Chains A and B, each alone.
Chain A
Amino acid sequence: MKTIAIASGKGGTGKTTLSTNLSALWAEKRHVTLLDLDVEEPNSGLFLNGTLVKQEIIEKFIPVWNPDVCQLCGKCQEVCEFNAVMKLGTDIMVFPELCHGCYACSDLCPNSALPMAARPMGELSHYRIGKLDFIEGRLAVGEEQAVPAIKKVKEYQKQELPDADLVIMDSPPGTSCPVIEAVKDVDFVILITEPTPFGLHDLKLAVETVRGLEKEMAVVINRDGIGDDGVESYCLEEGIRIPARIPQDRGMAKTYSKGKLIYPSHPAMKEELIRLIDFLEAL
């Protein structure tokens, strides 16, 4: 199995555009599984019209207080590092959005007064479009922790599609916990960036992150032609390959704005995607 993450430091550089177009074109030849792990703002599904195969609620497990057996010893509050369980007078309060699901309070309660129970935190949808399986994770609005939802989508793929030999992950932006969760066990990372000072600054952070995880990577430049040559010289200095450059093109931006895949109507995009597919196949 080959697993490829499409990531970026900066948001809005074209992660979703590349993930959806690359997956759809590659799936014309072989079976592809695309995971949308940008669970805060999952957008890949807006560009892919598939048949729904399965839908599941994503749950996280949090403690629920049972006042009948509680002796109010306060152990739960003492062991919680996240202030998610508090003893207030003769009540134990649980704050679900602060809970990290470590089970310490539940397991260490001498009276088993805090059993863990499932609570919905989002939704997973599995679609099929020809040879493309597309699985989207979607965090419920108001839920703050993206990581458990990302884990769930990856687990679902391993259980339901264990034979998938090519998995592409549309990752969340940034360099903090959600992107680490998405990228930590992939084989290869594609970082997509814009050739601008903002793009370069955030690319450097992303490169450091990927190196910290000891992953192989390459860079794809989007909106090539705007900005300056800072990204090109940086990649040259750092020995990072640039297998594709998607040109700046107002027409492509317009096609994107309508929620359509770009490569069917823009040969320049298709050419770059083929270049990238050849590069990835040769890895």
Chain B
Amino acid sequence: MKEIVVLSGKGGTGKTSLTASFALLAGSSAVIADCDVDASDMHLLLAPEVEQEEMFYSGKEAVIDSDACISCNRCLEVCHFDAVETDGTLYEINPVNCEGCSYCERVCPVDAITMKPSLAGDWYVSKIRSGARMVHARLGIGAENSGKLVARVKNEAKDIASRDSKALVLVDGSPGIGCPVVSSLSGADYIVIVTEPTVSGLHDLKRLRELIVKFRLPSGCIINKADLNTGYCDEIVKFLEHEEMDMLGTLPYDERITAAMVQGKSILEEPYSDSETAGKIREIWKKIQFKFGLNGE
């Protein structure tokens, strides 16, 4: 089983639209994981039918029992996250600030503080129209531990792939380079980076590359909206050569991707399936398939 993770550094480069296209091309030999749990949009294109739904608890949150509290101020003194609020007598936890470290619970002399598990989100196993299974999630509003939810989604997808002998796990990752991205890198075989020829695109590509090198993972790059700025496009190509990264292909700036999205479709589907962009996406996917000896359907 191979695991391919699609990342972008910068948001809005077309990562999810492209991953959804690859998901359809991979057919039922793949398991799809939407690990962009903060802004999970892939379901809007793949219309998954939910088969299984699970709640995800992660981390803890302090709660003060005001009847037991003796207003000794100890919890407020030890908290490094400004999560304890008081008017001098009544003590309360601000859940937005609480980090779940349990320090206050440990030092409260009258055991007035308990730690309750916090619901971080839900995750789902679904079936998409290619016949493949898809694992996706919804992070609770303002929830922490998105990295742990990413790990949960990914591990579930891997379990399904090994149980059903699937050749590929295809992961749509988060933007940025922080904890959800790091969480999606562990266990990956290959990273596909979707970038754009802009000063921000190149800047974020470089930071993402630096992170991937730390994990010693091979990677390749797709330049989306390539005709927007050919100068930067050339610069990205040079960067890829210098870093010995695979150049997987370029895609034009094509508003039909948005038009297809409005219809809940990928650009590979009617009426856009004959477009230049659709053809190029198929070519890029063939390259990736060939690289990993995968067979499509």
**A residues at B contact (CB < 8 Å):** 9-13, 16, 40-41, 43, 46-47, 79, 81-82, 100-104, 107-108, 139, 141-146, 172-178, 180, 184, 194, 196-198, 201-202, 205, 208-209, 212-213, 226-228, 250, 253-254, 256-259
- Inter-subunit contact B262/A227 (CB<8 Å): yes
- Inter-subunit contact B16/A180 (CB<8 Å): no
- Inter-subunit contact B44/A197 (CB<8 Å): yes
- Inter-subunit contact A41/B100 (CB<8 Å): no
Residue of B nearest to A222 (CB): B12
15 more CB-based (< 8 A) A-B contacts, given A81-B102, A139-B178, A144-B179: A10-B41, A11-B39, A43-B199, A46-B200, A81-B100, A141-B207, A141-B214, A142-B210, A145-B178, A145-B179, A184-B96, A227-B258, A228-B262, A253-B225, A256-B200
Chain B residues whose C-beta falls within 8 Å of the C-beta of A180 in the assembled complex:
96, 142
A17 → chain B closest CB, angstroms = 9
Residue among B44, B141, B196, B207 making CB contact with A208, cutoff 8 Å: B141
A99 → chain B closest CB, angstroms = 10
- Inter-subunit contact A40/B141 (CB<8 Å): no
Binds A, one of B143-151, B277-285, B287-295: B143-151
- Inter-subunit contact B101/A100 (CB<8 Å): yes
Q: Please tell me if B189 contacts chain A, counting CB pairs below 8 Å.
A: no
- Inter-subunit contact A12/B178 (CB<8 Å): no
Known: A100-B99, A102-B99, A201-B44. A12 touches B177 (CB 8 A): no
Chain B residues whose C-beta falls within 8 Å of the C-beta of A139 in the assembled complex:
177-178
Known: A12-B175, A40-B176. A175 touches B262 (CB 8 A): no
Contact string, B192-203, partner A, CB cutoff 8 A, digits 1/0?
000011111101
- Complex interface residues of chain B between 69 and 84 (CB less than 8 A to chain A): 78, 80-81
Bound CA–CA A177/B178 (angstroms)? 11
- Complex interface residues of chain B between 8 and 53 (CB less than 8 A to chain A): 8-13, 16, 38-39, 41, 44
- Inter-subunit contact A196/B258 (CB<8 Å): yes
A-B interface, 6 closest residue pairs, ranked by CB to CB distance from nearest: A12-B12, A11-B11, A259-B199, A102-B101, A174-B38, A12-B11
